Each structure stands twice: as C-alpha cells, then as structure tokens.
Amino acid sequence: MAAAATEAEGEEVAKLHLPAEIDWEMLDKSRFFVLGAALFSAVSAALYPAVVLKTRLQVCHPAPPSACAAAAAILRREGLLGFYRGFATSLAGTVPARTLYMAALEVTKSTVGTATIQLGVSETTASAVASAVAGLSAAVAAQVVWTPIDVISQRLMVQGHHRLTSKYLGGIDAFRKIVASDGIRGLYRGFGMSILTYAPSNAVWWASYSLSQKLIWSGIGYYLCRLRFGFEEQEYGNSSGGAVKPEYRTVVVVQGLSAAMAGGAAALVTMPLDTIKTRIQVMEGGKEGPMTIGRTVRSLIREGGWSACYRGLGPRWASMSMSATTMITTYEFLKRLSTKKKEGFDI
C-alpha cells in the first residue's frame, strides 16, 4: 500500500512541467548586456549601504558594540550620503565586471552542461556540475575588473574612520595616488584572497542554487500540484491526467528562496576570508611593507581573537541573502527579456 502511494506521488510529480532552462545560444546578446547593465546598477544601488556598513565593521578598531550602533553612528555623523561613499567608483566598475561575469557564466554553463550530459551523467548532476564550474570561471573573470574597483571604493568607504595616511578627493584621485605609491600592483591588493574568497563561494553558490531549486520543487511541488496552488493547467491537461506548470510568481518565489538559502550559507562559510581580503585591500602596512595574509590574521587575533574574523557577519549575511535573492530574480527576469523571439520560452 505504501509502495502504491509512493508510485502515485511519483506519477503526480511527473506531471509537473517546470520552465525550460535558457542557455547562451537562446539569448539576444546585445539586449542581454544593455538591460543587464541597467538592472544590476539599480540592484547595486539598493544594496550598497549594507556593503559600506560591513566594510566599516571589518576594519575599525575598537569595534562598535553592534551593527545597528555602527549604522546609527554613520547616519548621525554623515547622513544618508555616508552609506554611499565610493558608490560612483563602484558603479563605474559594475557594468564591465557584470558583463564579464554574465558572459563567462553563461558560456561555461552551456558548454560544460552539454559536455557532461554527453558523457552520460544524469541531468540533475550535470546541472550542478555545470553551475559550479560556471560560477568558478565567472568569479575569476570578474575579479580582473572588480579587484581594482574594490580597492578604491573600500578606501573611500572608510576614509576618515580608519588610520589611513592618504586622503582621497574621489575615485580618480584615489586611483592616481595608489598607482603613484604602489604601482599597478597596488590596485590588485588582495587579488589572490579575492579569488580564494569568491571563486569557491560562487562555485558552491551556483551549485547550491541549482540543487536547492530541484529539492524545493520535489519537496513541495507534489503537494502544490495536488492542491493546484500557484499552478495552472496546460492546454492539453486536466486535473486527472494532464501536465501542470507553475505560475510565474510561483517560479519567482522558488528562485528567490533557493538564492537566499545559497547566499546565506556562502556568507557564513567565506566570512573570515572576506574580512582578511578587505583588510589587505584597505589597511596600510606602514614601515613593515604591505599587509600580508599572515600579518592581517595576527592583527585580527590580537584585536579580538578568532571572532574578529566574523566582524560584520550580520550585515554581510543580510547583504548576501538579499543580494542573492534580488540578483537571481533579476537575472532570471533578464534572461526571459533577452530570449530570442524565434526560440520562444515557455514560462
């Protein structure tokens, strides 16, 4: 009897018609990049205050009693503009960095996905592997542009609130002074740590996102399908034997939930690496030379033990979860907007 029930559930879930994956060949590239630049710039503007707060918490000493206290101090002393220090520089780097990221992500995912399926790997495993490799390659490609932008914008974020000897009038002035002082290498401070932080994080994130969606659909899809909640019948279906497909809002909710789960986990795992990276990029080494990983770790431990590596975890966790949810829903929406008309797309 239990076997019969299981079989019935399997038949019911099999009726679920999920949206097709949009691959690189199906996209109108010019529309994809132009719309992507506009959409992601807007998302970056909305999430930037959390990045400023996280960065201040990571480098300040002594540390504020809480993230809320730090946010209140910024608002009281600098007003709302204090949460947007370095934003112009960050925004200037968003377009080329996101362009590299999206191109590397989609090309790699399409190529690796096709190759793994041809090797006889199951579709679920192939999707997870392709997503992981795509996330890894996209992170590495984007950091070529993003690391210099990160170095400049983060110094502007903490200027006046940290013991920096250099004073900057803006992004261009910071660029000139960093190059004059340390050469081009100065713009790539922490590049290795950035790769160590973002490459594994992106690989895990995209793989987790892919698997989370499948787990959510398999976990709740059956029940929602039976209740017809958030689903609609296909033209050829009926309640007893036809296929059903999720409504657009149901797809967005599942994508957002999957992204939040993956983003929160990635934030927790990579927090110490992000703290070390930020300090290397922002702090000046003085007479002893540039900050190194060893010096940075020792400095953190002196200031607050290993827990100091998790300063700013709250804002970063919230930022990454919100960012992941917003970014992925925007990204999936962008792909739908950029699909070539002749290819079609069944939501």
Nearest to 247 by CA among 260, 226, 233, 259: 233
| 57, part of any domain | yes
Residue 128 lies in a domain: yes
DSSP three-state, residue 239: coil
pTM confidence score: 0.70
Q: Domain containing 253 — which CATH number?
A: 1.50.40.10
Q: Which region holds residue 170: left if phi is over 0, alpha if psi is between -120 and 50, else beta?
A: left
- In angstroms, the CA 97 to CA 106 distance is 14
Say how far apart CA 273 and CA 309 lie, in whole Å: 8
Residue pair 56/157 in contact (Cβ under 8 Å)? The answer is yes
CA–CA distance, 166 with 337 (Å, rounded to integer)? 45
Is 329:16 a contact under the CB 8 Å cutoff? no
Q: Is residue 11 part of a domain?
A: no
Amino acid residing at 252: V
Asked if residue 287 belongs to a domain, the reply is: yes
Rounded Cα gap, residues 245 and 346, in angstroms: 10
Cα separation, 59 vs 300, whole angstroms: 9
Per-residue pLDDT in tens (0 to 9) along the chain, 347 residues: 444 444 444 444 445 666 667 777 788 878 888 888 788 888 888 889 988 998 888 887 777 778 888 899 899 999 999 999 999 999 888 878 888 888 898 899 889 988 988 888 888 788 888 888 998 899 899 999 999 999 999 999 988 766 666 788 899 999 999 999 889 998 998 888 888 888 878 887 888 787 888 888 877 665 665 565 555 555 444 444 556 677 777 788 888 888 888 888 788 888 888 888 888 888 766 666 667 888 888 888 888 888 888 888 888 888 788 878 887 888 888 888 888 765 444 44
Domain enclosing residue 99, as ranges: 29-227+247-338
Is residue 133 assigned to a domain? yes
Domain-embedded: residue 23: no
| Count of C-beta atoms within a 10 Å radius of residue 249 | 9
Q: Does some domain include residue 122? A: yes
- Within a domain: 18: no
Number of domains observed in the structure of the chain: 1
- Largest interatomic CA distance in the chain: 77
